[in-house]
Chain A
Amino acid sequence: NAGVTQTPKFQVLKTGQSMTLQCAQDMNHEYMSWYRQDPGMGLRLIHYSVGAGITDQGEVPNGYNVSRSTTEDFPLRLLSAAPSQTSVYFCASSDRAVYGSYNSPLHFGNGTRLTVT
């Protein structure tokens, strides 16, 4: 059971380039989410999805797009990279939405360290 798989582990982009961070889970989880982790700050939610075909914005969505065409995959797209997007990105999933009336442990990927120059 692979859990949550994120690729790539490291990435360097130039300002203005675009790229997609991949996230896949094999646990049939309904809920998937993307966070960014910056020094001195807690994890911040970028986008989330409560099921295939459903996505919504989190706390810091600007500059990022997501889609959820399958239960397994939840890619994060950077449309035009900016130095402010230099961060460590984590994908997480759970078998119930952590919003609303559900509570369930989160399963995290190993993270993607992105540098934008």
Chain B
Amino acid sequence: KNEVEQSPQNLTAQEGEFITINCSYSVGISALHWLQQHPGGGIVSLFMLSSGKKKHGRLIATINIQEKHSSLHITASHPRDSAVYICAVRHEKLTFGTGTRLTIIP
């Protein structure tokens, strides 16, 4: 069974700080998704990647297939980045992590 572990579970930081959220998984995968769930509940797809690194604005996602690990970085964090960030990996099916709750304090 593919397990997906995210760390930390909760993260509180000051506005402007560099944020890192980690995702580890246990079996070989073909793709990894990073999702953002807003306080209102809606879920948005941020990245889908299978190797290397992707960047969109202040968000950067990296993946190391050999180490079975991915990181989501947020540069110059802002209170509007406060959300739950969810990692999901595709092996035979999509398996979701339980999420990292990020709170950015002004």
Contacts and interface: CB of A to CB of B under 8 A. Distances in A.
Contacts of B98: 40-42
A108 B93 contact: no
B24 to A, nearest CB: 14
Given A98-B90, A99-B93, A103-B50, A42 B44 contact: no
B41 A111 contact: yes
Give the one of B31, B33, B43, B97 with max A CB within 10 A: B43
Interface of B: 4, 30-31, 33, 35, 40-45, 48, 50, 86, 88, 90, 92-99
A8 interface: no
A77 interface: no
16 contacts: A42-B96, A42-B97, A43-B96, A59-B93, A98-B90, A98-B93, A98-B94, A99-B93, A103-B90, A105-B33, A107-B45, A110-B41, A110-B42, A111-B41, A111-B42, A113-B41
